[in-house]
Amino acid sequence: MNDLPLVAITGASSGIGEAVAKRFSEAGYPVLMMARRIERMEALNLPEALCRRVDVRDRAAIASAVAEAEAVYGPVDMMFCNAGIARLADIGRQDPAEWDEMIDINTKGVLNSVHAVMAGMMERRRGTLFMMSSIAGRKVYPDHTVYCGTKYFVHGISESLREYLSAYDVRVVVLSPGIIETEVLDHVTDPGTLAAYRENKAKIGGGIGPEHLAELMLSAYSMPQTVLVQEICMTPTRQRY
């Protein structure tokens, strides 16, 4: 076991979460990987990685996984509150069950992830929270209504947490990527919205790779604890909105 502290990642089975787990593992950090698809995390076969099947809507499950990993690797020094879902659709014909799913995962799931590590970070006067928002948390899109609402929520609580936790030397970093190559479209059930998204993505030459965001996160995290990168907003060069 090395002397680098433990990092924890929700939604670690694919996309940005997977890329961040790989990058931090390459840098030598032990990693707690949490997601519903445990087989995909285990298939990565990362060294010094603990994989646990966790649904972020289950507050107790996150706390249990964190406690288990901390017993092996020591306290979580970075929590990446990444798990989320995008049910993009015309609000006028969207099934309200999709609203519930996004609200529960994208907002309550983020708070549950923060709750599992915040008290320890405050006590140690050290730690970093990476909060997954989106460009949709900075500007609105007509077929992203509830999704935008959940990401504006992340921005709002992050600003409040940043002010509150600054007195404890704990950092809060908001991540606001634009179009990125992940499985986000797999959760879109509205055919019109899906077609428009794909058309726009093709028009700008595709999305950015999640590995680029992971690299910036590692750089921001590696800064001295007295230095805070408050937000990382990253888009394809040709993305205008």
Q: Is residue 42 part of a domain?
A: yes
The model's pLDDT over 7-29, given as tens digits with 9 standing for 90+, comes to 999 999 999 999 999 999 999 99
> Given this model, what pLDDT does residue 192 score?
85
Boundaries of domain holding 83: 6-232
**Burial readout 131-160 (b: 16 or more C-beta within 10 A, e: otherwise):** bbbbbbbbeeeebbbbbbbbbbbbbebbee
Mean pLDDT calculated for residue range 81-101: 94
Residue 238 lies in a domain: no
**Considering the domain boundaries, does residue 241 fall inside one?**
no
Domain membership flag for residue 237: no
> Which CATH number covers residue 217?
3.40.50.720
Q: Residue 233: is it exposed, middle or buried by C-beta count within 10 angstroms (0-12/13-18/19+)?
A: middle
List 29, 73, 141, 147, catalytic entry: 147
Q: How confident is the model at residue 1 (pLDDT cuts 50, 70, 90)?
A: low
Rounded Cα distance, 233 and 155, in Å: 12
Q: Mean per-residue pLDDT for 94-101?
A: 95
**In the structure, what pLDDT confidence band is assigned to residue 77 with cuts at 50, 70 and 90?**
very high
d(CA 28, CA 17): 17
Residue 163 within any structural domain of the chain: yes
3-state secondary structure of 77: strand
List all residues 6 or more positions away from 64 whose beta carbon is below 8 Å from its beta carbon: none
pLDDT for position 32: 98
Q: Does the residue 240 lie in any domain? A: no
| Residues 172-231: tens digit of each pLDDT | 999 999 999 887 777 788 888 888 888 888 999 999 999 999 999 999 999 999 999 999
Number of structural domains (the chain) is 1
Q: Is 29 an active-site residue? A: no
**Global pTM exceeds 0.75:** yes
DSSP string, 25-50: HHTT--EEEEES-HHHHHHH--TTEE
User: Cα-Cα-Cα-Cα dihedral of 220, 225, 229, 230, to 10°?
Assistant: 130
